[in-house]
Amino acid sequence: MSLPPFPSNYRASGVLLHVTSLPSPYGIGDVGPSALAWIDRLHEAGQSWWQALPVGPIGVGDGDSPYQPLSSFAGNGLLMSPDWLIEDGLLRVSDCEGRSFSSDAVDYDAVFMFKLRLLDKAWTNFNAGARPDLRPAYAQFCQDHASWLEDYALFRALKLRYGGVHYLEWPAELTRRAPGALAQARQELTSQIDQVRLAQFLLFRQAARLKQHAHARGVRLIGDLPFFVSPDSSDVWANPELFLLDEQGRPLVLAGCPPDYFTAEGQLWGNPIYDWDALRRTGYRWWVDRVRALLAHVDVIRLDHFRAFAAAWHVPAGAPTAQTGSWVPGPGAELFSTVQKELGGLPFIAEDLGVITPDVYVLRDRFNVPGTRVLQFAFDGHADNPYLPSNYVANTVVYTGTHDNATTREWYEDLPDDQRQNLWNCMKRSGGDSSEAAPALISLAWSSIAALAIAPLQDVLNLGKEARMNVPGSADGNWRWRCTEQMLSDSAFEWLRALTTTSNRSAELPLISSLSLERRSTCAPIR
């Protein structure tokens, strides 16, 4: 059995905000000064946790979803701070000038081209001799992370060479990874490969600085691990034997979920499915390394789509919707026992939402993994609704809403009258309007017995539909929302601090020191 990440009688709170949503003059939030300022603001508001969405690299024109990363190990270069590259002497201030970006929405195509130019400039300067003192650390980084970095760097260089198309559209000898073709490509693309390596080194270096600052301010970080990987990723290209693919490398079955709260036809995500038998024969090495890699940057991991560890919804390739899928068992307890043995603990939060069967709860509770409860699902009038605070156990993380939900203000405006009244009855009030809904749900979450209570920043700021992050089942217009400096008013955070104090949620969790992250060097910290 594993100890949960939250000790007995632990009570704390935090805010959900993706890194891309932070204020910055460069079109997208990053892990630099604005992230440090955000951590300071959380600390001043009495918050102990910052939760972000996945921070893996995303492809251009693929919907910009952080849940479709090009690698499970690499970081998203768009999140690198130009300010810290200037501070490092790899860029000049003038290199970052001349572009104007929206302050309230991310234009991913424009930001991609801008950051690509900056990284190219930083590489040129580094290659020409700037910051020679970083070269030993860079060489060590490349050695420590070679197990994934070599494939990822070549993958990105080849993506650039072939105009960003899916790797299955590359020449056949590269798609099937013929050794001679790979060796020739590495020779021809040496400069591009080295540039990718350097970008990851610099990004990991910045991420280490961010984590150090967070810990110094008593703020812990919650990362997000997508269960599935993108079909067009270095993960699948470099490890095809770990996935259910046909002889041409195309998925035999695709990931999705059956009809649920969000969509009547279910959701067809299109991700390849793992070959768990093949993974089992390796001792789940790829999965263990994947978890360890993320824990180098965060303190606790939200396991997205937790139910798939018990069973996943397999949809036959070519099916028009997810309705024709079926449940197929996942790795279950064996994987968690392996991870626990390798790492010395299981610092996880289970995203156990959606269509949940008893086996999912059995798996979650066997390892004492905290479950997830979302208050927006609580007010259907049924006393046994698991999302009602009266039905929580302490080993729970409660949210007002998640990145997949409407903001609470928008949610309330679309809520049937009877469910509105159920909310106010739960608050022991006669009624209220949409401007009072988000503070009401935050108060309910903070007053519950859940060990950890989290609200999206949109709810802390009481924003409406203009601030929604994602609409499940909709491919366009998601993941773009950003907050501005002007939105981060002191009054909202003063209110949050007062609520946190009166709810006795000002706890700090000691650093998790029992995880043996040093046992393998795939994610060695950068100093």
**Which residues are catalytic, by number?**
304, 351, 404
One-letter-per-residue 3-state SS of 404-423: CCCCHHHHHHCCCHHHHHHH
295 Cβ contact list (under 8 Å, min separation 6): 223, 301, 343, 347, 515, 517, 523
**C-alpha span between 47 and 512 (Å, rounded):** 18
Distances (CA, A) of 337 to 73, 282, 283, 341, 348: 22, 14, 11, 6, 13
**C-alpha span between 351 and 304 (Å, rounded):** 5
Distances (CA, A) of 178 to 172, 175, 184, 240, 244: 9, 8, 10, 13, 20
The three-class DSSP label of residue 118 is helix
Phi then psi dihedrals of residue 254, to 5 deg: -125, 155
What is the torsion angle, in degrees rounded to the nearest 10, for the CA atoms of residue 83, residue 68, residue 309 and residue 245?
-140
Burial class (CB in 10 A: 0-12, 13-18, 19+), 252: middle
Amino acid at 233: S
Distances (CA, A) of 220 to 14, 214, 298, 512: 9, 6, 7, 10
Strand locations in 408-515 (E): 452-456
Amino acid at 466: E
The three-class DSSP label of residue 285 is helix
Nearest to 439 by CA among 400, 483, 406, 466: 400
498 Cβ contact list (under 8 Å, min separation 6): none
